[in-house]
Each structure stands twice: as C-alpha cells, then as structure tokens.
Chains A and B, each alone.
Chain A
Amino acid sequence: EVQLLESGGGLVQPGGSLRLSCAASGFTFYMSDMTWVRQAPGKGLEWVSALSGSGQTTYYVDSVQGRFTISRDNSKNTLYLEMNNLRADDTAIYYCAKMGGGAYRQRLESWGQGALVTVSS
C-alpha cells in the first residue's frame, strides 16, 4: 500500500523559511516522479512543483520559481520542499503526491494527508 506522510508544516513569519518533508513507502520511490500541490484555505488545488525520479528534472509554478526548491533523497525514500521568502499567499495545505502515467499524461495517483503552512506575523 502506498503511503505518503508529510511533515514540517507550521507557522512562519513573512519572509521566513520552512522545509517540508514527505516520507514515502509501499512503492519503488526512486522510479517515481513526485510532486507538491497546495490548497489555500477554502480554495481549489494548485500545482506547485514536480521532480523526476532521478532528481535531475524539476518544474515549478511561476509564483514560487526562485523561492521554492524541490529535492529528494532516494536513499531515504523522502521528498522535500524547501520554501524561502514566504509570503502570506503561500498559506495553504501542502500535499505531496506520487505521479503515474507517461509523458503528457501524468496523473497524481496517490496523495499524502497534507501539511499546513501558515505565513503570518
């Protein structure tokens, strides 16, 4: 059974930093592309960042480019999201998800329960 467990969320001041972790189990982690999706309070889903299984290829939504860094440690089956220069509009639940499907058709097959990030003074 695929399990994804996020951690590292919390309250941070504007301009601050936070690192989210996502511990994965139940599947071959190093072969799976992974992604982060966020959901602001009462809002819809917004894709944030994605990373290939090898860790070589990264993708970011424009609003976080240059502030967030996605990475992974395949020896620990863990995905990370380093978030710097946080803003109030980054406040959201952050979900990590395992992706499946081939090029041009990737779907988010399994999701974690999410980690709440609150940016406020």
Chain B
Amino acid sequence: SYVLTQPPSMSVAPGQTARITCGGNNIGSKYVHWYQQRPGQAPVLVLYDGSVRPSGIPDRFSGSNSGATATLTIIRVEGGDEADYYCQVWDPNGNWVFGGGTKLTVL
C-alpha cells in the first residue's frame, strides 16, 4: 500500500517560516491535500490539490509538490499555527491515505 512519510515534529520561532514535508513514491504525480488539527479539535482542510487554499485559510499557507516530496509552507508563523499537520492523497491501492502527521511547535 502507498505510504506517506512526514517528520514527527518540528519547531519554529514566531515570525519565521515552517516547511513541513510529505514524502511518497512519485507523489508529484498525485493530488496532495493538507489538514491542520489543533489540540482537541477536528481536522481542518488548509490546502487542496497541492496549493489551493479553501475559503478562510490565510495566504500565509502555501504548498508545492514535485518528484518524491510535497511541502506545506507557513510563512510568518503565529502561535495559533501550533497544531498537527497531515498530508493526504488518494491512491488506487490504499484509497485515502494519510501521512503520520507532523507536530508543529511554535517556540
């Protein structure tokens, strides 16, 4: 089955840039979606199709996808961005596949 690999955790200072990666075999050929899950809350879609922001998501969030890695970039990080972030793709073998999640800590 298809596997998505994310770093378990990362930390960034307020105002800096966070880059969260999601690795997968030829992931650049797939549509990647990203979710934010704040503590105790349900996930929220923050990017879809690699780089499209749903209504209400600030333009500080952006994404890219090429080769074996998709990346979620958050510029000017704020305390409210502290959360778990998950990437997700649809795969014919595994259907809807999630990465293991990355815990973003804002220092």
A contact residues, total (Cβ < 8 Å): 23
Taken residue by residue from 49 to 70, chain A's Cβ proximity to chain B (1 for < 8 Å, 0 otherwise) reads as 0100000000101000000000
Instruction: Give Cα distance in the complex from A112 to B41, angstroms.
Output: 10
Evaluate whether A95 and B42 lie within 8 angstroms (CB atoms) in the complex, with A47-B95, A104-B90, A106-B96 already known: yes
Partner of A105, one of B90, B95, B97: B90
Known: A101-B31, A101-B49, A105-B31. A111 touches B96 (CB 8 A): no
Across the interface, name the chain B residue whose C-beta is closest to A6: B42
Known: A35-B96, A45-B37. 16 other contacts (CB 8 A): A44-B101, A45-B86, A45-B88, A45-B101, A46-B98, A47-B96, A61-B95, A95-B42, A101-B49, A104-B31, A105-B31, A105-B90, A107-B49, A108-B33, A108-B43, A108-B45
Mark B residues whose CB is within 8 Å of A.
Answer: 30-31, 33, 35, 37, 42-45, 48-49, 54, 84, 86, 88, 90, 95-101
